[in-house]
Amino acid sequence: MTYQGGLHTELQHGPSGATVCTDAPVDNHGKGESFSPTDLMCSAMAGCMATIMGIYAEEHGVDITGFTITVSKVMNANPRRIARIETEITVPLPADTPHKEALIQCALGSPAMRSLHPDIEVPITWNWVG
């Protein structure tokens, strides 16, 4: 990570060299020109859920290509922290798929979900649309 000034950072992934930039959010002295660090945290949670669900799907020959996870972050003011990550997962499988419970458990048991502080609420809405 390199601090760029003006509340901007550039994060570089060592093995690949890929970079991600952050900016402080508008409600916390920034310009909101990029992901905030807490936005990245919520997005990483969604990416981790998707990865674990994808591993299960590939191992079981289930096509979940195109499924989506939408997150909406709710902040506490004092102390400033993530209070809630409202999550909506839309899966292109029917609600009666025999893989439903396993996919739900993959998301709930993902490493990022297990790493969240227990005070952070993560309500999840599931949409099965196959």
Structure tokens at 31: 């310009």
Give the DSSP per-residue string, 27-66. Answer: GGTS---SB-HHHHHHHHHHHHHHHHHHHHHHHTT---TT
Split at pLDDT 50, 70, 90, the class of 46 is very high
Q: Write down the pLDDT at residue 130.
A: 87
Confidence of residue 35 (pLDDT cuts 50, 70, 90): very high
Start-to-end C-alpha separation, the chain: 42
Structure tokens at 13: 């992934």
With a CB cutoff of 8 Å and minimum separation 6, the contacts of 76 are: 82, 83
pTM for the complete prediction? Answer: 0.93
Mean pLDDT across 76-96:
97
